[in-house]
């Protein structure tokens, strides 16, 4: 029966605390290739956020190019990808019309949602419909329809794909979106502030399988065949307990089945806790001492250059927390927009996630003024 690997959120070229993760990414991509060969899959499906930025570093572009060239020349297995919110669809899709004949399908144009990639497998054809990441404005402009919300926009595209399905041919939908109620991680970039980015899963139920991207934790939502594969790697310390991997999907006569295939990172992302002395002692015998480390120090007294000391044994220690001094940053929900948090706090987090930088004092001051002005105006209306 037709089989494929579903993966997403590669974020090739991502920096983690200013360290390039390219080597780590290529390390697990080798495992993806190995899984593809081992299970003789018919396709590799990547559900968006191929790169980490609209303009990725040239080295990242070149590394992905080399991986795809090797993957496809060694395995002769087609690759189907859509653009995510981190990608520039226009940049990613350059040359796409000339690549599909060779089996590289880059779906980066919402105007093509009705045109499936047709995969001929030993057990017959499978249709893959791709919905690249989009905002409501793009859908309004491309299709001249009145859609206002992310949900309406996404539902419009899903219905176009659904209408293009062929009776009796298994169909897979690929989308990069945030299903309402699904579980967030720290390392996703929010699509819009305040929950307006959520879409409903119901319109997607007609497909035999839905390969989703955007959320970094493997999960399903709404129905079991509507799945997030999760990201390629842990991209934040808050994900330290997630099991990253790819999803092996098989389309059977009774519907789709799936299996999580784990990816073993070159350097894991770990949170360790103890006194500085305990951690140094532990590090001396730790076979994975080059993992990326967030260390929670429980010492109560002042410490002399704890980071430098810890890096003697854990060279990739990236964050230190003093449990006695502050709420630990690793457990802080950066993306939390619940009512318990003030507007300016939410905006500050949003800013730092998008810009990778904190607000300056002047910006903070301006923000506060704007928030107060808005609040005053709203109170005036009531």
**Which chain residues interact with a copy of itself by CB under 8 A?**
54-55, 58-59, 61-62, 64-65, 68-69, 72-73, 88, 90-91, 93-99, 101-104, 106
Of 26 and 337, CB closest to a copy of itself = 26
8 A C-beta contact, residue 259 and residue 50: no
Give the span between the Cα atoms of 9 and 273, in whole angstroms: 29
Pairing of strands 245-252, 3-7: antiparallel
Of 89 and 248, CB closest to a copy of itself = 89
Nearest CA-CA partner of 45 in 94, 96, 103: 103
Closest distance of CB 26 from a copy of itself, Å: 16
Of 50 and 251, CB closest to a copy of itself = 50
Q: Tokens 């706090």 label which residue?
A: 345
Nearest CA-CA partner of 28 in 246, 214, 286, 248: 246
Closest distance of CB 294 from a copy of itself, Å: 33
Give the span between the Cα atoms of 271 and 240, in whole angstroms: 7
Give long-range contacts, CB 8 A cutoff, 24+ apart: 146-150. Answer: 149/196, 150/177, 150/178, 150/191, 150/192, 150/196, 150/197, 150/198, 150/199
Q: What is the DSSP string of 6-40?
A: EE----BT-EETTEE-HHHHHHHHHHHHHHHHHTT
Closest distance of CB 108 from a copy of itself, Å: 10
Closest distance of CB 12 from a copy of itself, Å: 11
Closest distance of CB 128 from a copy of itself, Å: 17
Closest distance of CB 78 from a copy of itself, Å: 10
**C-alpha 135, offset from chain centre:** 17
Of 39 and 91, CB closest to a copy of itself = 91
Closest distance of CB 77 from a copy of itself, Å: 13
Of 176 and 244, CB closest to a copy of itself = 176
Give the span between the Cα atoms of 246 and 43, in whole angstroms: 13
Of 137 and 333, CB closest to a copy of itself = 137
Closest distance of CB 69 from a copy of itself, Å: 5
Of 100 and 316, CB closest to a copy of itself = 100
Longest dimension (CA), the chain: 70
Of 97 and 195, CB closest to a copy of itself = 97
Give the span between the Cα atoms of 222 and 364, in whole angstroms: 40
Output DSSP code: residue 232. S
Of 1 and 99, CB closest to a copy of itself = 99
User: 292 to each of 231, 315, 319, 350, how far by Cα in Å?
Assistant: 17, 8, 9, 24
Closest distance of CB 52 from a copy of itself, Å: 15
8 A C-beta contact, residue 227 and residue 262: no
Closest distance of CB 260 from a copy of itself, Å: 29
**C-alpha 349, offset from chain centre:** 18
Of 67 and 314, CB closest to a copy of itself = 67
Phi then psi for 318, rounded to 5 degrees?
-110, -25
């Amino acid at each position: 029966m037709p089989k494929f690997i579903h993966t997403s959120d590669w974020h090739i070229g991502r920096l983690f605390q200013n360290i390039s993760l390219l080597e780590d990414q290529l390390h697990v991509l080798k495992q993806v290739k190995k899984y593809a060969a081992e299970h003789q899959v018919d396709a590799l499906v990547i559900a968006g956020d191929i790169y980490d930025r609209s303009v990725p570093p040239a080295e990242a572009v070149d590394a992905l190019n080399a991986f795809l060239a090797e993957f496809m020349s060694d395995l002769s297995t087609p690759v189907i990808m859509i653009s995510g919110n981190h990608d520039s669809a226009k940049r990613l899709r350059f040359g796409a019309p000339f690549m599909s004949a060779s089996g590289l399908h880059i779906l980066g144009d919402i105007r093509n949602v009705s045109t499936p990639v047709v995969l001929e497998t030993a057990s017959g054809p499978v249709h893959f419909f791709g919905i690249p990441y989009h905002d409501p404005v793009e859908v309004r402009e491309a299709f001249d329809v009145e859609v206002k919300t992310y949900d309406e926009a996404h539902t419009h595209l899903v219905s176009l794909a659904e209408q293009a399905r062929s009776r009796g041919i298994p169909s897979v939908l690929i989308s990069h979106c945030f299903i309402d109620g699904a579980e967030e991680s720290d390392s996703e970039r929010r699509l819009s502030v305040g929950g307006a980015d959520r879409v409903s899963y119901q319109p997607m139920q007609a497909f035999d399988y839905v390969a989703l991207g955007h959320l970094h934790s493997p999960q399903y939502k709404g129905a079991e065949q509507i799945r997030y594969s999760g990201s390629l790697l842990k991209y934040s310390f808050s994900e330290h307990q997630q099991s990253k991997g790819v999803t092996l999907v098989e389309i059977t006569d009774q519907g789709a089945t799936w299996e999580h295939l784990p990816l073993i990172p070159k350097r894991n992302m770990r949170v360790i806790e103890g006194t500085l002395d305990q951690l140094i002692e532990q590090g001396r015998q730790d076979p994975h001492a080059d993992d990326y480390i967030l260390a929670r120090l429980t010492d109560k007294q002042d410490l002399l250059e704890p980071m430098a000391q810890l890096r003697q044994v854990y060279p990739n220690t990236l964050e230190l927390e003093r449990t006695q001094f502050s709420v630990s940053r690793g457990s802080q929900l950066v993306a939390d927009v619940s009512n318990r948090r003030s507007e300016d706090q939410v905006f500050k987090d949003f800013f730092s996630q998008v810009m990778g930088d904190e607000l300056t004092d002047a910006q903070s001051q301006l923000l506060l003024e704007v928030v107060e002005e808005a609040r005053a105006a709203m109170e005036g209306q009531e």
